[in-house]
Amino acid sequence: MAKHKGRGWHSRLLAAGLGVTALAAATSVWSAQADPAGARKPQASVSDTGPAAAVAEEIVHASDRGERGVNITIDDGPDPTWTPQVLQLLKENGVKATFCMVGTQARAYPDLVKKVVADGHRLCDHTIAHDTAMDSKSEAYQSQQILDAERMIIEASGGVRPQYYRAPGGAFTPYSRKLAASRGMRPLGWNVDSKDFERPGVDAMVATVKSEIANGPTVLFHDAGGDRAQTVEALRQVLPWLKEQGYSFGFPVR
């Protein structure tokens, strides 16, 4: 997996005084599953038993739509400028996506988190500080980043759990994968990096997706972290093209 550099903007959003959350802490949370087909609104239900059922801790790339499936994943948001535009494009093309949210962003824009869920998309934990050096940090630090983000996303969504965990820049560790999986969040990788974070130009981004989609189904885009106008335009071109090539859109397997 590629390591993405220069994304320290999230650390400035990290609120002071966030405590380290214990791995074994008992919690009462709301839980819900967004309908993969988007045919019905997710229904939240109270869980008094703490964390969701554990899932596999191996990093997943495969699509639940099989060999011709594509998973569109959107990282770093939500953002009040770009997330609504991305959501509109996804709606126009009948595409469901996975939104890997930074906890502080989710807390800042809960209405957008709820909109993502209402539109039938899935949530993914992307930590609270987007620290691409997480794989060199202590287990206590990794726990804080993952579990505090999980809590913020659940609260912002009105009770819908993130179903995946994506390490910033792919900085997974055996510990972080095990922790996330124990909370019902499948570690999520990617096969195609659109390079949109670097803003190389729309044509370059579209060409990257077209040339690399044969490498695997999970495609990485961003809806925050700067000007994402190129991302919006690239999605406007890429989504119809993928459908023309016979691909269908789904979610990463869990």
Active site residues: 75, 222
Per-residue DSSP letter, 252: B
Residue type, 9: W
**Extended beta strands in 137-217, E state:** 164-165, 186-187, 192-193
In whole angstroms, what is the distance from residue 82 CA to residue 62 CA? 27
Query: Does the bond joining 78 to the residue before it have cis omega, within 30 degrees of 0?
Result: yes
In whole angstroms, what is the distance from residue 97 CA to residue 15 CA? 28
H/E run at residue 31: strand 29-31
Six-digit token pair at 162? 């993130």
